[in-house]
């Protein structure tokens, strides 16, 4: 006869422990007993139901019409982090209580005296706002490099509901993560998105260039044998002269948000990357906006950058007419 007290203890333990396990350990735990298998299946189903694990406004489910992989495993952050400040390298996923244990918007107040604006309510971003940056628009219009935007931030008197913080409230459009035959996972719109609408930040770990180079070498090796889909982006800001004045490395391979599923398109795709600077923050964030109206179900894509196509690089399956057949690759 089964002991109901022991069975209850097993399921309580399973509920506490299983959400912390990466897929191989979850599969090993599932083989321990009937009760563990049932608990592990529930965790797997909950993970597949929301890649954003309750940290965004809407769930972003995995949909896999191709094979039996129910989800892709990674650590979720709604905004980019500096690795040393990322106090977690494991995160519960697949249970009701995991939602409370991740970083959430708005970001915690760092308590530092930072530069910012002190506009009256409703005036942020206007001509008199210290956070408005007319030059950012000018750089965009000149076509020199990536466009940039300025927003209010941690140093401002306004709160998180300020109109001039439209990229700071996380992902507010419905999305799904769809498995494809050639490109692996891909991010799709799950509702119509209007031209100019903010879609998501490309969130991940901010890396030094030295660390980015180290990881690039490692990822290139793993990717060449099909063991990894690296999501390390290098963004270069240019002066009007064309010279590079800043390099930002964002790695969403292990720690990221839904943007880590966006594939590359050689023709620029339907998303426009913009560097967003918030007052009081040292590093700009890479934010993605709809470059045109996007219909429900369409795959989202952008160009990973101006790095030259590397003849020895991975094959590109974007299918745009200008595609040279290989993905842009960084020269490390
Ligand atoms: C940011 S991730 C995108 C999500 C990825 N497809 C996945 O399954 O996790 C970037 C990686 O996706 C793959 N990828 C992205 N765009 C691609 C394309 N146009 N053709 C082939 N593979 C692509 C490459 O492996 C690349 O390193």
Residues 165, 279 contacting (CB under 8 angstroms): no
The mean pLDDT of 110-123, rounded to a whole number, is 76
pLDDT reported for residue 140:
47
Distance CA 207, CA 170 (A): 21
Distance CA 129, CA 152 (A): 9
Is the link from the previous residue into 106 a cis peptide, with omega within 30 of 0? yes
User: Who wins on pLDDT, 68 or 131?
Assistant: 68
Q: Is the pLDDT of residue 298 over 90?
A: yes
Q: Is the pLDDT of residue 101 over 70?
A: no
Residue 313 Cβ inside 6 Å of ligand 1? The answer reads no
**Predicted complex: ipTM over 0.85:** yes
Q: Is the pLDDT of residue 196 over 50?
A: yes
The mean pLDDT of 196-209, rounded to a whole number, is 96
CATH class, 60-302 region: mainly beta
Residue 257 Cβ inside 6 Å of ligand 1? The answer reads no
Mutate to test the pocket of ligand 1, among 75, 186, 327, 329 (most ligand atoms within 8 A of CB): 327
For tokens 């809407």, what's the residue?
58
Distance CA 273, CA 147 (A): 8
**DSSP labels, 70-133:** -----EE-SS-B-GGG---S----SSGGGGGGS--SSPPP---------PPTT-TTSTT-TT--
Residue 318 Cβ inside 6 Å of ligand 1? The answer reads yes
DSSP strands (E only) in 262-320: 263-264, 271-278, 285-290, 301-302
* pLDDT tens column, 275-284: 998 887 888 9
* pLDDT tens column, 7-30: 777 788 888 999 999 999 999 999
For tokens 């299946």, what's the residue?
41
From the CA of 229, how far away is ligand 1's center (Å)? Answer: 6
From the CA of 318, how far away is ligand 1's center (Å)? Answer: 10
* pLDDT tens column, 126-177: 888 888 875 655 444 445 567 888 899 888 888 888 989 999 999 999 999 9
Which atom from ligand 1 is nearest to the alpha carbon of 323? Answer: 19
Residue 179 Cβ inside 6 Å of ligand 1? The answer reads no
How far does CA 210 lie from the centroid of its chain? 22
Nearest CA to ligand 1 atom 26: 229
Which atom from ligand 1 is nearest to the alpha carbon of 72? Answer: 9
Which atom from ligand 1 is nearest to the alpha carbon of 316? Answer: 20
Residue 289 Cβ inside 6 Å of ligand 1? The answer reads no
* pLDDT tens column, 211-268: 999 999 999 899 988 889 999 999 887 777 777 778 899 999 999 999 999 999 999 9
pLDDT reported for residue 244:
72
Nearest CA to ligand 1 atom 11: 229
pLDDT reported for residue 51:
97
From the CA of 262, how far away is ligand 1's center (Å)? Answer: 7
From the CA of 155, how far away is ligand 1's center (Å)? Answer: 36
Residue 255 Cβ inside 6 Å of ligand 1? The answer reads no
């Amino acid at each position: 006869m089964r002991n109901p007290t022991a069975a209850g203890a097993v399921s309580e333990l399973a509920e506490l422990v299983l959400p912390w396990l990466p897929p191989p350990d979850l599969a090993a735990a599932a083989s321990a007993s009937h009760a563990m298998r049932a608990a592990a299946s529930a965790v797997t189903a909950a993970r597949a139901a929301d890649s954003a694990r309750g940290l965004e406004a809407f769930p972003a489910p995995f949909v896999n019409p191709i094979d039996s992989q129910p989800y892709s495993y990674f650590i979720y952050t709604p905004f980019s982090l500096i690795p040393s400040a990322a106090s977690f390298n494991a995160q519960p996923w697949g249970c009701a209580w995991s939602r409370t244990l991740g970083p959430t918007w708005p970001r915690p107040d760092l308590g530092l005296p930072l530069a910012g604006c002190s506009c009256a309510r409703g005036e942020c971003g206007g001509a008199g706002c210290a956070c408005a940056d007319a030059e950012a628009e000018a750089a965009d219009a000149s076509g020199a490099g990536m466009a940039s935007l300025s927003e209010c931030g941690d140093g401002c008197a306004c709160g998180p509901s300020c109109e001039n913080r439209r990229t700071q409230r996380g992902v507010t459009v419905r999305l799904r993560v769809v498995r494809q035959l050639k490109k692996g996972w891909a991010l799709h719109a799950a509702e119509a998105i209007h031209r100019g609408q903010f879609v998501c930040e490309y969130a991940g770990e901010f890396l030094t260039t030295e660390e980015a180079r180290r990881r690039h070498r490692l990822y290139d090796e793993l990717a060449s044998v099909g063991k990894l889909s690296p999501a390390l982006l290098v963004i270069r800001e240019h002066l009007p002269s064309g010279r590079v004045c800043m390099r930002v490395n964002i790695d969403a391979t292990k720690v990221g948000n839904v943007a880590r599923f966006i594939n590359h398109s050689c023709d620029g795709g339907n998303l426009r990357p913009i560097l967003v600077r918030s007052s009081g923050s040292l590093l700009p964030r890479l934010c993605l906006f709809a470059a045109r109206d996007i219909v429900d179900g369409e795959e989202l894509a952008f160009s990973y950058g101006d790095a030259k196509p590397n003849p020895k690089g991975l094959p590109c399956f974007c299918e745009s007419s200008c595609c040279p057949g290989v993905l842009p690759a960084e020269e490390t």
